[in-house]
């Protein structure tokens, strides 16, 4: 019974494929996955936009959209309709081909990234040996798309926005990848299902053996989430599209359906990287306690996924935007060194692997936390002073 519920999608897939002739069965299996992914995450996109607006509204002491449909839930439909029927304007001086290709080049690879994520037990589209490498390789191609969008618009705001975005994405990709390396060391595999498998079981009988429950995992999770926020150009790292200074940056010259595609691409990128965070740090589809294991695995994935998305929205409502130099300094002078230190913390954790007792575990935690706290304080002090610190604005006062 439990197994049935757990594997419901897998069983459904095979049952449906059974109707097709044997020759095309592999194709049908794949098609099922593709359609499923696109349906689920397409709806997820619609849901997230409305939820984000409602949550932001609540946090800012207002109601948010509530006119279209029950509780305003049909707002995304209205938005989508508006986007599609709007005129698609291409500037005269724009590089027409690239201007057309850019939104596609952003959206298509992002869909590909979903193919390696394990959404539940036996539920990943591709069982790649080097899945995480694939994820990052795909992710790195979105930078070119952003550049194409900015450059082809032939608008200086767009170009500055695109260059900022590319610089930011390159810079934050380094801590993003560095934060995952301890995980790969601990799981000794690059395959995402294997990484999830490495997080099964419980420590001391009650704490789930997720990587976030280790000092290096916790620090890595924080680093990863910060870098992921920057990678997906979300507040407080949304300088590339800062409306108040760059009039939406590289999106300035886009309208209509292409604009919607960019929007979709950005949210899908966010979903992909959130799914990766769940997989790497939060134990993927594992349940948090042994007596909760009867709930299907994909439910757990969805719950963790939703929680992280809420975290992103919360952060957006809370923090103001950074300045460009602060942004780069933060990446190179704080996140990257800290991520490197984190490697050594993981090493120390691994070396002291023989200390199983609660006291030994506490000692390991203390050691790891201490090793991280010192550079944290030290690097943080470095950020507060000098050029990247507070700036005096002579006209503002």
Interface contacts to another protein, rule CB under 8 A = 95, 98, 128-130, 133-134, 136-141, 143-144, 147-148, 151, 159-160, 163-164, 166-167, 170, 173, 189-191, 245-246, 324-325, 328, 354, 374, 378, 394
Are 193 and 127 within 8 A, CB to CB? yes
User: Closer CB to another protein, residue 145 or residue 223?
Assistant: 145
Total Cβ atoms within 10 A of residue 190: 17
Q: How far is CA 295 from CA 117, 203, 278, 324, in A?
A: 20, 21, 17, 45
DSSP SS3 for 207: strand
CB of 169 to another protein, least distance (A): 9
CB of 158 to another protein, least distance (A): 12
d(CA 314, CA 56) in angstroms, rounded, equals: 8
User: Closer CB to another protein, residue 45 or residue 147?
Assistant: 147
Q: How far is CA 315 from CA 54, 62, 102, 170, 318, in A?
A: 15, 18, 29, 22, 5
Q: For 154-194, give the secondary structure using H, E and C.
A: CCHHHHHHHHHHHHHHHHHHHHHHHHHHHHHHHHCCCCHHH
User: Closer CB to another protein, residue 88 or residue 245?
Assistant: 245
User: Closer CB to another protein, residue 149 or residue 223?
Assistant: 149
User: Closer CB to another protein, residue 18 or residue 360?
Assistant: 360
CB of 309 to another protein, least distance (A): 26
- Kindly state the helix (H) or strand (E) to which residue 103 belongs, with its residue range: helix 96-113
CB of 35 to another protein, least distance (A): 22
User: Closer CB to another protein, residue 150 or residue 217?
Assistant: 150
CB of 137 to another protein, least distance (A): 4
Which of 383, 376, 117, 388 is closest to 223 using CA atoms? 376
Are 76 and 47 within 8 A, CB to CB? yes
CB of 394 to another protein, least distance (A): 5
User: Closer CB to another protein, residue 159 or residue 308?
Assistant: 159
User: Closer CB to another protein, residue 208 or residue 249?
Assistant: 249
CB of 37 to another protein, least distance (A): 20
DSSP SS3 for 46: helix
d(CA 363, CA 347) in angstroms, rounded, equals: 15
CB of 28 to another protein, least distance (A): 16
CB of 273 to another protein, least distance (A): 15
DSSP state of 335: I
User: Closer CB to another protein, residue 34 or residue 133?
Assistant: 133
CB of 207 to another protein, least distance (A): 24
User: Closer CB to another protein, residue 313 or residue 327?
Assistant: 327
d(CA 217, CA 104) in angstroms, rounded, equals: 35
- DSSP-derived secondary structure for 218-256: HHHHHHHHHHHHHHTT-TTS-GGG-HHHHTTGGGTT--H
**Interhelix angle 358-384/215-231, nearest 10 degrees:** 40
Which of 123, 96, 51 is closest to 309 using CA atoms? 51
């Amino acid at each position: 019974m439990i197994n049935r519920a757990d594997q419901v999608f897998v069983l459904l897939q095979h049952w449906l494929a059974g109707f097709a002739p044997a020759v095309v069965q592999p194709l049908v299996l794949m098609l099922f996955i593709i359609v499923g992914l696109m349906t689920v995450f397409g709806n997820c996109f619609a849901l997230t936009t409305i939820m984000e607006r409602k949550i932001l509204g609540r946090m800012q002491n207002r109601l948010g959209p509530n006119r279209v449909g029950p509780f305003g839930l049909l707002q995304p439909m209205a938005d989508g309709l508006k986007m599609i029927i709007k005129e698609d304007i291409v500037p005269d001086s724009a590089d027409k081909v690239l201007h057309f290709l850019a939104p596609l080049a952003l959206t298509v690879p992002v869909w590909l990234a979903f193919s390696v994520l394990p959404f539940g037990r036996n539920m990943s589209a591709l069982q790649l040996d080097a899945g995480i490498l694939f994820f990052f390789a795909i992710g790195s191609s979105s930078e070119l798309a952003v550049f194409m969008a900015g450059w082809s618009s032939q608008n200086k705001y767009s170009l500055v926005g695109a260059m900022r975005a590319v610089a930011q994405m390159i810079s934050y990709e380094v801590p993003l990848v560095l934060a995952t390396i301890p995980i790969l060391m601990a799981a000794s595999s690059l395959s995402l299902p294997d990484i999830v498998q490495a997080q099964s079981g419980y420590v001391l009988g009650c704490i789930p053996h997720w990587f976030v429950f280790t000092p290096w995992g916790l620090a890595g999770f924080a680093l990863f989430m910060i870098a992921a926020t920057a990678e997906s150009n979300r507040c407080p790292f949304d300088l590339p599209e800062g409306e108040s200074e760059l009039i939406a940056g590289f999106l300035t010259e886009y309208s209509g359906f292409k604009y919607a595609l960019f929007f979709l691409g950005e949210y899908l990128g966010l979903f992909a990287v959130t799914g990766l965070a769940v997989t790497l740090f939060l134990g993927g589809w594992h349940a948090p306690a042994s007596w909760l294991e009867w709930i299907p695995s994909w439910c757990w994935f969805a719950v963790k996924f939703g929680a992280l998305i809420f975290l992103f929205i919360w952060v957006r409502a809370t923090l103001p935007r950074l300045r460009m130099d602060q942004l780069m300094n933060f990446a190179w002078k704080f996140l990257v060194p800290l991520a490197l230190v984190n490697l050594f913390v993981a090493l120390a954790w691994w070396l002291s692997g023989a200390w199983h007792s609660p006291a030994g575990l506490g000692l390991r935690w203390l050691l790891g936390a201490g090793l991280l706290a010192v550079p944290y304080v030290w690097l943080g002090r470095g950020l507060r002073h000098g050029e990247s610190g507070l700036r005096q604005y002579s006209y503002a006062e």
